[in-house]
Amino acid sequence: MFNHEPAGYRCPFCLVVSGDDDVVLESERAFAFVASRWWPNNRGHVLVAPRAHHENLYDLPSADGHAVHDLVREVAIAIRSTYGCTGVSTRQHNEPDGYQDAWHLHVHVFPRYPDDNLYNTRHLETPATPDERAPYVRRLRRYFGGGSAG
């Protein structure tokens, strides 16, 4: 119901969960990683997704939704504690008109700063390199004590 994933879609989130260096926290049902798509003033934001492939909120089983929310909370606290930001915002998109452009449910967790203009800017055109993401990955993994949650 309400799905837009094209035939033959290679899900980038399913590839990440199968062994990505940017994963900072994981549980049995969900995982979190530093995103490669950055906004100009909110670098190092994190995406949290269910391990199982669910396209959107409409398809998400409660158990996976709870697992995602639990990691979103943990990541938000970690970002607030380690990035030197003054707040955190989360957002989640469904369907093309809801600005969804990857067909695996995920929640963005953004560090926020005074006058960062997050909602009036677009993501940078060039993805962040692994070297650019590495300091955020290290910071969050240190906070979580290695990167694994229950």
pTM: 0.93
Residue 150: its pLDDT value, please?
43
Of 93, 92, 100, 110, the closest CA to residue 45 belongs to: 110
Residue 147: its pLDDT value, please?
46
Residue 148: its pLDDT value, please?
46
> pLDDT (tens digit, 9 = 90+) per residue, 76-107?
999 999 999 999 999 999 999 999 999 999 99
Q: Could you tell me where the DSSP H helices lie in the chain?
A: 12-17, 62-82, 130-144
Residue 72 lies in a domain: yes
Residue 4 lies in a domain: no
Domains of the chain: total: 1
Any idea what the CATH number is for the domain that residue 136 is in?
3.30.428.10
DSSP strand pairing (46-50 vs 87-91): unpaired
Compute, in degrees rounded to 10, the torsion defined by CA atoms 9, 14, 19, 22.
100
Which residues of the chain carry a pLDDT beneath 50? 147-150
Residue 56: its pLDDT value, please?
97
